[in-house]
Amino acid sequence: MEFELSKKQQELRDNLNQLGRFVIRPMSLQMDREHQVPATFLQQFVSMANSMRSDDDLAAAFGEGKKEPPSLDKPSFTNRTSLIGAEELAWADASVLLCLPGPGLGGPPIRATGTAEQKQKYFGMIHDADKRGELAWGAYGLTEPSAGSDVSGIQSTCRKDGKHWVINGRKCYITNGARALWVVIFASVDLNKGRAGHRAFVVEKGTTGFSVGKIEDKLGLRASETAELVLEDCRVPEENLLGGEDAYLTKSTGFQTAMKTFDATRPLVASMALGIGRAAYEHARDAVKDRYMIGRPIARYHALVERLAKMHRRLEAARMLTYRAAYMADVGQPNAKEASMSKAAAAQAAVKACVEAIEICGAEGTISKEDALLEKWFRDIKVYDIFEGTGQVQRVVISKRIFSDLKSF
Protein backbone atom coordinates (compact mmCIF):
# COMPACT_ATOMS: atom_id res chain seq x y z
CA MET A 1 0.00 0.00 0.00
CA GLU A 2 1.30 3.44 -0.96
CA PHE A 3 1.25 5.97 1.89
CA GLU A 4 2.34 9.03 -0.10
CA LEU A 5 -0.45 11.36 -1.14
CA SER A 6 -0.75 12.29 -4.78
CA LYS A 7 -0.25 15.92 -5.80
CA LYS A 8 -4.02 16.39 -6.14
CA GLN A 9 -4.63 14.86 -2.71
CA GLN A 10 -2.01 17.11 -1.13
CA GLU A 11 -3.59 20.15 -2.76
CA LEU A 12 -7.04 19.08 -1.52
CA ARG A 13 -5.75 18.62 2.02
CA ASP A 14 -3.89 21.94 2.04
CA ASN A 15 -6.75 23.92 0.51
CA LEU A 16 -9.31 22.51 2.95
CA ASN A 17 -6.94 23.10 5.86
CA GLN A 18 -6.63 26.77 4.89
CA LEU A 19 -10.39 27.05 4.42
CA GLY A 20 -10.93 25.47 7.83
CA ARG A 21 -8.33 27.59 9.61
CA PHE A 22 -9.29 30.99 8.24
CA VAL A 23 -12.98 30.68 7.32
CA ILE A 24 -14.72 27.82 9.15
CA ARG A 25 -13.12 27.91 12.60
CA PRO A 26 -13.69 31.65 13.13
CA MET A 27 -17.45 31.10 12.76
CA SER A 28 -17.57 27.65 14.39
CA LEU A 29 -18.85 28.70 17.82
CA GLN A 30 -21.44 31.05 16.34
CA MET A 31 -22.78 28.21 14.19
CA ASP A 32 -22.88 26.01 17.28
CA ARG A 33 -24.92 28.61 19.18
CA GLU A 34 -27.28 29.32 16.29
CA HIS A 35 -27.70 25.63 15.35
CA GLN A 36 -27.04 26.21 11.65
CA VAL A 37 -24.38 26.68 9.00
CA PRO A 38 -24.94 29.86 6.96
CA ALA A 39 -26.56 29.15 3.59
CA THR A 40 -24.21 31.66 1.95
CA PHE A 41 -21.19 29.63 3.03
CA LEU A 42 -22.75 26.38 1.77
CA GLN A 43 -23.50 28.03 -1.59
CA GLN A 44 -19.91 29.21 -1.89
CA PHE A 45 -18.56 25.80 -0.91
CA VAL A 46 -20.74 24.02 -3.48
CA SER A 47 -19.62 26.45 -6.18
CA MET A 48 -15.98 25.82 -5.29
CA ALA A 49 -16.48 22.05 -5.30
CA ASN A 50 -18.25 22.15 -8.66
CA SER A 51 -15.40 24.11 -10.22
CA MET A 52 -13.03 21.29 -9.23
CA ARG A 53 -15.30 18.46 -10.40
CA SER A 54 -14.58 16.72 -13.71
CA ASP A 55 -17.00 15.18 -16.21
CA ASP A 56 -15.85 11.76 -14.99
CA ASP A 57 -16.85 12.68 -11.44
CA LEU A 58 -20.31 13.66 -12.66
CA ALA A 59 -20.69 10.45 -14.66
CA ALA A 60 -19.68 8.40 -11.61
CA ALA A 61 -22.26 10.24 -9.50
CA PHE A 62 -24.97 9.07 -11.89
CA GLY A 63 -23.70 5.50 -11.81
CA GLU A 64 -22.15 5.88 -15.23
CA GLY A 65 -18.54 6.17 -16.30
CA LYS A 66 -16.25 3.19 -15.89
CA LYS A 67 -18.17 -0.08 -15.90
CA GLU A 68 -15.27 -2.13 -14.55
CA PRO A 69 -15.23 -2.54 -10.76
CA PRO A 70 -12.03 -1.39 -9.03
CA SER A 71 -9.24 -3.95 -8.64
CA LEU A 72 -5.60 -4.22 -7.60
CA ASP A 73 -4.59 -3.59 -11.21
CA LYS A 74 -7.03 -0.73 -11.72
CA PRO A 75 -7.68 0.81 -8.31
CA SER A 76 -9.95 3.71 -7.54
CA PHE A 77 -8.83 6.54 -5.29
CA THR A 78 -12.29 7.80 -4.40
CA ASN A 79 -12.50 6.43 -0.85
CA ARG A 80 -9.01 7.47 0.20
CA THR A 81 -9.45 10.97 -1.20
CA SER A 82 -12.78 11.27 0.61
CA LEU A 83 -11.04 10.44 3.91
CA ILE A 84 -8.55 13.26 3.40
CA GLY A 85 -11.32 15.78 2.79
CA ALA A 86 -13.45 14.51 5.66
CA GLU A 87 -10.62 14.69 8.20
CA GLU A 88 -9.68 18.24 7.26
CA LEU A 89 -13.25 19.54 7.37
CA ALA A 90 -13.91 17.79 10.69
CA TRP A 91 -10.68 19.30 12.02
CA ALA A 92 -12.26 22.67 11.28
CA ASP A 93 -15.87 21.88 12.30
CA ALA A 94 -17.51 18.49 11.88
CA SER A 95 -21.00 20.01 11.68
CA VAL A 96 -20.09 21.73 8.42
CA LEU A 97 -19.21 18.42 6.80
CA LEU A 98 -22.53 16.89 7.86
CA CYS A 99 -24.42 19.90 6.48
CA LEU A 100 -22.85 19.94 3.02
CA PRO A 101 -25.48 19.65 0.26
CA GLY A 102 -25.57 16.47 -1.83
CA PRO A 103 -26.89 12.91 -1.62
CA GLY A 104 -25.19 12.42 1.75
CA LEU A 105 -25.57 8.98 3.33
CA GLY A 106 -28.42 8.30 0.92
CA GLY A 107 -25.95 8.17 -1.96
CA PRO A 108 -24.09 4.89 -1.20
CA PRO A 109 -27.20 2.64 -1.07
CA ILE A 110 -28.52 4.05 -4.35
CA ARG A 111 -25.12 3.57 -6.01
CA ALA A 112 -24.83 0.03 -4.62
CA THR A 113 -28.37 -1.26 -5.24
CA GLY A 114 -30.34 1.25 -7.33
CA THR A 115 -31.34 0.66 -10.92
CA ALA A 116 -29.95 2.89 -13.67
CA GLU A 117 -33.24 4.78 -13.75
CA GLN A 118 -33.18 5.34 -9.99
CA LYS A 119 -29.62 6.63 -10.06
CA GLN A 120 -30.46 8.98 -12.90
CA LYS A 121 -33.59 10.27 -11.16
CA TYR A 122 -32.40 10.81 -7.61
CA PHE A 123 -28.87 11.99 -8.28
CA GLY A 124 -30.38 14.05 -11.07
CA MET A 125 -32.70 15.81 -8.61
CA ILE A 126 -29.69 16.94 -6.59
CA HIS A 127 -27.76 17.94 -9.72
CA ASP A 128 -30.66 19.90 -11.23
CA ALA A 129 -31.18 21.84 -8.01
CA ASP A 130 -27.48 22.57 -7.95
CA LYS A 131 -27.61 23.97 -11.49
CA ARG A 132 -30.46 26.26 -10.43
CA GLY A 133 -28.32 27.57 -7.59
CA GLU A 134 -30.41 25.83 -4.94
CA LEU A 135 -29.14 23.79 -2.00
CA ALA A 136 -30.36 20.19 -2.06
CA TRP A 137 -29.82 17.17 0.16
CA GLY A 138 -30.51 13.45 0.22
CA ALA A 139 -30.74 11.44 3.46
CA TYR A 140 -30.59 7.93 4.91
CA GLY A 141 -33.41 6.67 7.14
CA LEU A 142 -32.52 3.51 9.04
CA THR A 143 -32.38 4.26 12.78
CA GLU A 144 -35.55 3.86 14.84
CA PRO A 145 -36.37 4.40 18.53
CA SER A 146 -35.88 0.67 19.17
CA ALA A 147 -33.31 -0.22 16.48
CA GLY A 148 -30.24 1.42 15.06
CA SER A 149 -26.99 -0.43 15.45
CA ASP A 150 -28.98 -3.68 15.41
CA VAL A 151 -30.36 -3.26 11.89
CA SER A 152 -32.27 -6.54 12.03
CA GLY A 153 -34.52 -5.08 14.74
CA ILE A 154 -36.25 -2.36 12.69
CA GLN A 155 -40.01 -2.21 13.25
CA SER A 156 -41.15 -0.10 10.29
CA THR A 157 -43.41 -2.12 8.01
CA CYS A 158 -44.27 -2.07 4.32
CA ARG A 159 -46.92 -3.87 2.27
CA LYS A 160 -47.73 -3.95 -1.42
CA ASP A 161 -51.01 -2.35 -2.49
CA GLY A 162 -51.48 -2.41 -6.26
CA LYS A 163 -48.76 -0.29 -7.85
CA HIS A 164 -47.76 1.25 -4.53
CA TRP A 165 -46.06 0.27 -1.31
CA VAL A 166 -47.60 1.44 1.96
CA ILE A 167 -45.03 2.19 4.68
CA ASN A 168 -45.64 2.75 8.39
CA GLY A 169 -43.00 3.56 10.95
CA ARG A 170 -40.90 6.17 12.66
CA LYS A 171 -37.26 7.02 12.01
CA CYS A 172 -35.05 9.05 14.35
CA TYR A 173 -31.70 10.88 14.36
CA ILE A 174 -31.75 11.33 10.58
CA THR A 175 -29.06 13.75 9.38
CA ASN A 176 -30.58 16.41 7.09
CA GLY A 177 -33.86 14.49 7.25
CA ALA A 178 -36.15 17.53 7.40
CA ARG A 179 -34.69 19.32 4.38
CA ALA A 180 -33.84 16.34 2.17
CA LEU A 181 -35.45 16.07 -1.26
CA TRP A 182 -35.57 12.30 -0.75
CA VAL A 183 -34.70 9.76 1.94
CA VAL A 184 -33.70 6.10 1.61
CA ILE A 185 -36.09 4.39 4.04
CA PHE A 186 -35.80 0.82 5.32
CA ALA A 187 -38.88 -1.21 6.30
CA SER A 188 -39.92 -4.86 6.62
CA VAL A 189 -42.51 -6.87 4.70
CA ASP A 190 -42.64 -9.37 7.59
CA LEU A 191 -41.14 -8.65 11.01
CA ASN A 192 -40.91 -12.40 11.68
CA LYS A 193 -38.45 -12.80 8.80
CA GLY A 194 -35.81 -10.57 10.35
CA ARG A 195 -33.26 -9.27 7.87
CA ALA A 196 -34.79 -11.37 5.06
CA GLY A 197 -37.88 -9.18 5.22
CA HIS A 198 -36.08 -5.87 4.78
CA ARG A 199 -36.84 -3.60 1.86
CA ALA A 200 -35.29 -0.24 0.94
CA PHE A 201 -37.27 2.57 -0.68
CA VAL A 202 -36.59 6.09 -1.85
CA VAL A 203 -39.28 8.30 -0.33
CA GLU A 204 -39.54 11.78 -1.79
CA LYS A 205 -40.30 14.93 0.14
CA GLY A 206 -44.00 15.77 -0.06
CA THR A 207 -45.14 12.14 -0.40
CA THR A 208 -48.55 11.60 1.22
CA GLY A 209 -48.15 10.21 4.74
CA PHE A 210 -44.49 11.28 5.02
CA SER A 211 -43.80 14.04 7.55
CA VAL A 212 -41.10 15.52 9.75
CA GLY A 213 -41.39 15.15 13.52
CA LYS A 214 -39.11 16.95 15.94
CA ILE A 215 -35.69 18.44 15.23
CA GLU A 216 -33.28 17.20 17.90
CA ASP A 217 -31.56 19.58 20.35
CA LYS A 218 -28.22 17.80 20.71
CA LEU A 219 -25.19 17.86 22.99
CA GLY A 220 -22.76 18.21 20.10
CA LEU A 221 -22.72 18.82 16.34
CA ARG A 222 -25.40 21.37 17.09
CA ALA A 223 -25.12 23.18 13.75
CA SER A 224 -26.16 20.04 11.87
CA GLU A 225 -29.81 19.10 11.41
CA THR A 226 -30.95 15.84 13.01
CA ALA A 227 -34.62 15.03 12.46
CA GLU A 228 -37.35 12.56 13.28
CA LEU A 229 -39.30 11.24 10.28
CA VAL A 230 -42.82 9.83 10.50
CA LEU A 231 -44.45 7.50 7.95
CA GLU A 232 -48.19 6.98 8.38
CA ASP A 233 -49.74 4.95 5.56
CA CYS A 234 -47.11 6.53 3.34
CA ARG A 235 -47.85 5.50 -0.26
CA VAL A 236 -44.71 5.07 -2.36
CA PRO A 237 -44.80 4.14 -6.09
CA GLU A 238 -43.53 0.62 -6.77
CA GLU A 239 -40.70 2.01 -8.91
CA ASN A 240 -39.25 3.57 -5.74
CA LEU A 241 -38.34 0.14 -4.35
CA LEU A 242 -34.55 0.33 -4.43
CA GLY A 243 -33.20 -2.11 -7.00
CA GLY A 244 -36.66 -3.20 -8.17
CA GLU A 245 -38.75 -6.27 -7.29
CA ASP A 246 -36.37 -8.82 -8.81
CA ALA A 247 -33.53 -7.77 -6.51
CA TYR A 248 -35.39 -9.25 -3.51
CA LEU A 249 -36.33 -12.65 -4.91
CA THR A 250 -33.36 -14.72 -3.77
CA LYS A 251 -31.42 -12.76 -1.17
CA SER A 252 -31.68 -10.25 1.67
CA THR A 253 -31.08 -7.25 -0.55
CA GLY A 254 -32.50 -4.70 1.90
CA PHE A 255 -30.25 -5.81 4.75
CA GLN A 256 -27.25 -6.14 2.43
CA THR A 257 -27.87 -2.62 1.15
CA ALA A 258 -27.63 -1.30 4.71
CA MET A 259 -24.44 -3.28 5.33
CA LYS A 260 -22.80 -2.09 2.08
CA THR A 261 -23.59 1.45 3.11
CA PHE A 262 -21.87 0.94 6.46
CA ASP A 263 -18.81 -0.60 4.77
CA ALA A 264 -18.47 2.60 2.73
CA THR A 265 -19.33 5.13 5.43
CA ARG A 266 -17.69 3.75 8.57
CA PRO A 267 -14.15 4.65 7.41
CA LEU A 268 -15.49 8.08 6.48
CA VAL A 269 -16.95 8.53 9.97
CA ALA A 270 -13.66 7.29 11.42
CA SER A 271 -11.76 9.97 9.51
CA MET A 272 -14.14 12.63 10.84
CA ALA A 273 -13.46 11.44 14.39
CA LEU A 274 -9.74 11.62 13.67
CA GLY A 275 -10.14 15.21 12.51
CA ILE A 276 -11.72 16.21 15.83
CA GLY A 277 -9.20 14.16 17.83
CA ARG A 278 -6.31 15.73 15.92
CA ALA A 279 -7.68 19.21 16.60
CA ALA A 280 -7.83 18.49 20.36
CA TYR A 281 -4.35 16.94 20.34
CA GLU A 282 -2.83 19.93 18.55
CA HIS A 283 -4.55 22.34 20.95
CA ALA A 284 -3.14 20.51 23.98
CA ARG A 285 0.30 20.18 22.36
CA ASP A 286 0.48 23.90 21.69
CA ALA A 287 -0.72 24.70 25.22
CA VAL A 288 2.07 22.57 26.71
CA LYS A 289 4.63 24.13 24.40
CA ASP A 290 3.54 27.69 25.21
CA ARG A 291 2.96 27.41 28.96
CA TYR A 292 4.87 24.48 30.44
CA MET A 293 8.25 24.33 28.73
CA ILE A 294 9.44 27.41 30.58
CA GLY A 295 8.95 28.06 34.29
CA ARG A 296 7.35 24.73 35.24
CA PRO A 297 8.82 21.73 37.08
CA ILE A 298 10.62 19.36 34.70
CA ALA A 299 8.84 16.29 36.11
CA ARG A 300 5.43 17.73 35.27
CA TYR A 301 6.55 18.70 31.79
CA HIS A 302 7.72 15.15 31.07
CA ALA A 303 4.44 13.72 32.37
CA LEU A 304 2.47 15.95 30.02
CA VAL A 305 4.67 15.10 27.05
CA GLU A 306 4.14 11.39 27.73
CA ARG A 307 0.37 11.92 27.65
CA LEU A 308 0.68 13.80 24.36
CA ALA A 309 2.78 11.00 22.91
CA LYS A 310 0.09 8.43 23.76
CA MET A 311 -2.60 10.61 22.19
CA HIS A 312 -0.54 10.94 19.02
CA ARG A 313 0.20 7.20 18.81
CA ARG A 314 -3.46 6.25 19.15
CA LEU A 315 -4.56 8.71 16.47
CA GLU A 316 -1.84 7.64 14.02
CA ALA A 317 -2.59 3.94 14.53
CA ALA A 318 -6.30 4.55 13.97
CA ARG A 319 -5.55 6.56 10.83
CA MET A 320 -3.61 3.64 9.37
CA LEU A 321 -6.54 1.28 10.03
CA THR A 322 -8.89 3.79 8.43
CA TYR A 323 -6.75 4.20 5.32
CA ARG A 324 -6.46 0.44 5.02
CA ALA A 325 -10.24 0.03 5.04
CA ALA A 326 -10.58 2.73 2.37
CA TYR A 327 -7.77 1.19 0.31
CA MET A 328 -9.51 -2.20 0.31
CA ALA A 329 -12.69 -0.56 -0.96
CA ASP A 330 -10.68 1.24 -3.64
CA VAL A 331 -9.26 -2.05 -4.95
CA GLY A 332 -12.57 -3.90 -4.78
CA GLN A 333 -11.83 -6.10 -1.76
CA PRO A 334 -14.44 -6.86 0.96
CA ASN A 335 -13.73 -4.56 3.90
CA ALA A 336 -16.53 -5.12 6.44
CA LYS A 337 -14.15 -6.18 9.23
CA GLU A 338 -11.63 -3.46 8.45
CA ALA A 339 -14.34 -0.78 8.22
CA SER A 340 -15.55 -1.72 11.71
CA MET A 341 -11.99 -1.86 13.02
CA SER A 342 -11.30 1.64 11.73
CA LYS A 343 -14.48 3.07 13.22
CA ALA A 344 -13.96 1.42 16.61
CA ALA A 345 -10.31 2.46 16.86
CA ALA A 346 -10.71 6.01 15.54
CA ALA A 347 -13.69 6.86 17.73
CA GLN A 348 -11.96 5.60 20.88
CA ALA A 349 -8.69 7.35 20.03
CA ALA A 350 -10.46 10.64 19.34
CA VAL A 351 -12.63 10.49 22.48
CA LYS A 352 -9.51 9.83 24.56
CA ALA A 353 -7.68 12.68 22.82
CA CYS A 354 -10.45 15.13 23.70
CA VAL A 355 -10.59 13.93 27.32
CA GLU A 356 -6.80 14.14 27.67
CA ALA A 357 -6.74 17.61 26.10
CA ILE A 358 -9.38 18.85 28.55
CA GLU A 359 -7.37 17.49 31.49
CA ILE A 360 -4.08 18.92 30.22
CA CYS A 361 -5.57 22.38 29.65
CA GLY A 362 -7.44 22.37 32.96
CA ALA A 363 -10.13 24.95 33.63
CA GLU A 364 -9.50 26.66 30.30
CA GLY A 365 -10.65 23.52 28.52
CA THR A 366 -14.01 23.30 30.27
CA ILE A 367 -15.20 26.90 30.21
CA SER A 368 -17.49 27.86 27.34
CA LYS A 369 -16.44 31.24 25.97
CA GLU A 370 -15.95 33.05 22.68
CA ASP A 371 -12.80 31.16 21.64
CA ALA A 372 -13.33 27.91 23.59
CA LEU A 373 -13.18 25.41 20.72
CA LEU A 374 -11.84 22.62 22.93
CA GLU A 375 -15.08 22.56 24.95
CA LYS A 376 -17.03 22.27 21.68
CA TRP A 377 -14.86 19.44 20.36
CA PHE A 378 -15.38 17.62 23.65
CA ARG A 379 -19.16 17.81 23.11
CA ASP A 380 -18.93 16.92 19.42
CA ILE A 381 -16.78 13.80 19.66
CA LYS A 382 -18.90 11.44 21.76
CA VAL A 383 -21.44 10.71 19.02
CA TYR A 384 -18.67 9.24 16.83
CA ASP A 385 -18.58 6.23 19.12
CA ILE A 386 -22.36 5.92 18.69
CA PHE A 387 -23.67 6.62 15.19
CA GLU A 388 -22.95 4.37 12.19
CA GLY A 389 -22.96 1.54 14.75
CA THR A 390 -21.81 1.88 18.35
CA GLY A 391 -18.35 0.86 19.46
CA GLN A 392 -19.83 -2.29 21.02
CA VAL A 393 -21.49 -3.24 17.72
CA GLN A 394 -18.23 -2.70 15.84
CA ARG A 395 -16.53 -5.18 18.15
CA VAL A 396 -19.35 -7.68 17.54
CA VAL A 397 -18.89 -7.30 13.77
CA ILE A 398 -15.13 -7.73 14.08
CA SER A 399 -15.43 -10.86 16.24
CA LYS A 400 -17.99 -12.42 13.90
CA ARG A 401 -15.69 -11.85 10.93
CA ILE A 402 -12.76 -13.36 12.82
CA PHE A 403 -14.61 -16.50 13.86
CA SER A 404 -16.32 -16.96 10.49
CA ASP A 405 -12.88 -18.01 9.23
CA LEU A 406 -12.50 -20.67 11.94
CA LYS A 407 -14.62 -23.45 10.47
CA SER A 408 -13.64 -25.98 13.13
CA PHE A 409 -15.15 -23.90 15.98
pLDDT digits (tens, 9 = 90+) for 350-385: 999 999 999 998 877 666 555 689 999 999 999 999
**Which run of H or E residues covers position 186?**
strand 182-188
Question: Span 80-91, mean pLDDT?
Answer: 96
* Matching CATH number, 254-404, of 3.40.50.300, 1.20.140.10, 1.10.8.80, 3.30.56.10: 1.20.140.10
The whole-angstrom distance between residue 165's C-alpha and the CA centroid of its chain comes to 29
Closest among 400, 340, 371, 387 to 148, alpha carbons compared: 387
Round to whole Å and give the CA distance between 272 and 88.
Answer: 8
**What's residue 404's pLDDT?**
80
Q: When comparing pLDDT for 268 and 250, which is higher?
A: 268
Tens-place pLDDT, residues 117-131: 999 999 999 999 998
**What's residue 65's pLDDT?**
47
Amino acid letter at 152?
Answer: S
Q: How far is CA 16 from CA 22, 53, 75, 359, in A?
A: 10, 15, 24, 29
Question: Span 107-123, mean pLDDT?
Answer: 93
**What's residue 339's pLDDT?**
94
- The one catalytic residue in 144, 228, 356, 388 is 388
In this prediction, residue 50 has a pLDDT band, given cuts at 50, 70 and 90, of confident
**Residue 235: what are its φ and ψ, rounded to 5°?**
-95, 115
Domain boundary assignment for the chain: 7-131, 138-252, 254-404
Architecture of the domain made up of 138-252? Beta Barrel (2.40)
Task: Answer whether 357's CB lies under 8 Å from 114's CB.
Answer: no
Same fold for the domain at 138-252 and the one at 254-404?
A: no
User: In the annotation, is 88 catalytic?
Assistant: no
Mean pLDDT of the chain: 89
208-217 CB contacts, 8 Å cutoff, 24+ apart: 208/234, 208/235, 209/167, 209/233, 209/234, 209/235, 210/234, 212/177, 212/178, 213/170, 215/178, 216/173, 217/35
**What's residue 283's pLDDT?**
94
Please tell us whether the domain made up of 7-131 is placed in CATH 1.10.540.10. yes
Closest among 89, 86, 96, 88 to 29, alpha carbons compared: 96
Tens-place pLDDT, residues 248-267: 876 666 667 767 778 888 99
